[in-house]
Structure 1
Amino acid sequence: MSSAAMRLGVLASRVRFEEKGILTALERRGFACEQIDPRSLSVRAGAAWTGPRTVLNREVGHYRALYAAAALESAGVSVLNSAAATAVCGDKWQTSAALVARGLPTPETALALTPDAALDALDRLGYPAVIKPLVGSWGRLVTRVGDPETAAAVLEHLAALPSPQSHIVYVQSEVPKVDRDIRVLVVGGRAVGATYRRSREWRTNVARGAVSERCPLEPGLTELAVAAAETVGAHIAGVDLLQDPDGRLTVLEVNDRVEFRGLQQAHGTETDVADAIAALMTKAAKT
């Protein structure tokens, strides 16, 4: 295999804890790797691509990540995760639809094409419920509504927003859960680690201050997380699970450009997430 084919790239406009770890792990494995900043990236249709033939997509912004992956794939580049996986994971409705089609447990979900229709959808789902933006992360703009009056106020605000996408409303039933959720990291079809995430508020995003604690990789949890990642076509995924008081697990989300600092710190030296991702990249480059 040519040296050009073995070059690896990491697509990222910001080099955070995760990207630094992956770049270091690739260097330890003896692979040349370069950061590709999507803010300065352009791909000409039909033109030859002279950059790395295997690229890990770590771009923070969803739309840049999606279109960068699609453009690179059009030039023959292998992108992890693929543009198709990024499209599904980055859109909460597409994720829910895929999970339901696979028969995996996930909260009752509805998509309303107007804020007015969302009120009817919420009446059918029942309260309490959660209103979420179709695209977004870190728990931003996710709102818990406990009654029709609160929902109407939130939906009135959404109707006043200028973006047409904001008027398409994604709603879910709130799943009763214990005081935590579970994040499982899946790499190459294998669960490499899991954490409980606890928070003082009902949202348990680490970016919002939640604390990560090591969670044992029990068979039922592992199988469900791997199945969820497979369903959306993600080779690298952070699968968020909810567990109700009776122990039943539900898939909430699948994240394709997953942050793993909290999980890594919870596992210490026993698990090397960055190296697991580096191993998957090098395997992809050799095939």
Structure 2
Amino acid sequence: MSSATLRLGVLASRVRFEEKAILTALERRGVACEQIDPRSLSVRAGVPRPGPQAVLNREIGHYRALYAASALESAGVRVLNSAAAAAVCGDKWQTSAALVAQGLPTPETTLALTPEAALEALEEFGYPAVLKPLVGSWGRLVTRVTGPEMAAAVLEHLAAMPSPQSHIVYVQREVPKPDRDIRVLVVGGRAVGATYRRSDQWRTNVARGAVSERCPLDSDLTGLAVSAAGTVGAQIAGVDLLQDPDGRLTVLEVNDRVEFRGLQQSHGTDIDVAQSMAELLIKEAQA
């Protein structure tokens, strides 16, 4: 199937820098592409859906992204990343469990089914340690606890929250690191670029003011990032890595709807992230 006969879609309720770049890259390739707003999407299970043969999932909200992917797949549409990948990447415990099962280095993690059990897990870990929501991004509600009193206060707050999911606590041992982490972007099983994300805060999320700086790719970074993306089934992934003072790398998270503005700007014209994603989407639609 030639690219001229393809019909592709980009699933997104908000068109940010990344989505604009991807839509422009597809337009340059002469491919018919439409933005699909999931807020107006409805799909009948198992019934073929007229429209794009393949869709790039860029929806910002986890649950809407997950169920939109599942619904479109049930109607015969190829979705990148798949609903299965979104389910794993969007849940920090599922990601950790997959990485551990594959033998990839990742911080020691415990899932506590109640806040009380989390307090016991923290006593085993020692302090400082990190508490995270199962679902979330941009470092929101991620808390570094430095002692039993602080942990008890945080867990008391979690216990009072109405959502049952909030009472399930993801506990992670803190990994000593410099003032940065590393984000490696993987597209189609290939690492296309990496950045250091530096911050004077312990959370190094760009959404919280961290600065992206170009990071040279080497075989260790590339191999670990590609393995992590493959482990969670993500063909497009932002793999977050930590490097301890001894230089050992560990996988922190794998993001399935990765933002790449900082990475693109840090590399200038040496890479074209949106073009890489557009080419992969076209390839998958033609397969």
Q: TM-score range by the shorter chain?
A: over 0.9
The answer to whether residue 97 in structure 2 is matched with residue 105 in structure 1 is: no
Aligned partner of 2:68 in structure 1 is 68
Structure 1 residue 5: Cα displacement: 6.9
Aligned partner of 1:144 in structure 2 is 144
Q: Which moved more, 1:117-126 or 1:248-257?
A: 117-126
- Gap regions ≥5 residues in structure 1: none
AA aligned to 2:181 is D
Structure 1 residue 4: Cα displacement: 10
Residues 1-287 of structure 1: pairs in structure 2 closer than 5 A = 1=1, 6-287=6-287
**SS at structure 1 position matched to 2:79:** strand
1:49/1:75 contact within 8 Å kept = yes
AA aligned to 2:238 is G
2:47/2:74 contact within 8 Å kept = no
The 3 A distance-change label for structure 1 pair 264 and 208 is same
- Gap regions ≥5 residues in structure 2: none
How many residue pairs were aligned? 287
1:131/1:145 contact within 8 Å kept = yes
Structure 1 residue 114: Cα displacement: 0.4
TM-score for the superposition, normalised by structure 2: 0.98
Runs (4+) off by over 4 Å = 2-5
1:5/1:53 contact within 8 Å kept = no
Structure 1 residue 127: Cα displacement: 1.1
Post-superposition Cα deviations, 1:23-43, rounded to whole Å, max 9, x if no partner, equal 000011110100000000000
Post-superposition Cα deviations, 1:115-136, rounded to whole Å, max 9, x if no partner, equal 0000011111221100000000
AA aligned to 1:17 is F
AA aligned to 1:61 is G
Looking at structure 2, the residues matched to 33 and 104 of structure 1 have their Cα atoms a distance apart, in angstroms, of 37
Looking at structure 2, the residues matched to 123 and 279 of structure 1 have their Cα atoms a distance apart, in angstroms, of 49
Looking at structure 1, the residues matched to 3 and 219 of structure 2 have their Cα atoms a distance apart, in angstroms, of 40
Give the RMSD, CA atoms, in angstroms.
1.1
1:10/1:35 contact within 8 Å kept = yes
1:108/1:172 contact within 8 Å kept = yes
Q: Percent identity?
A: 83
Structure 1 residue 44: Cα displacement: 1.0
AA aligned to 2:217 is L
The 3 A distance-change label for structure 1 pair 178 and 274 is same
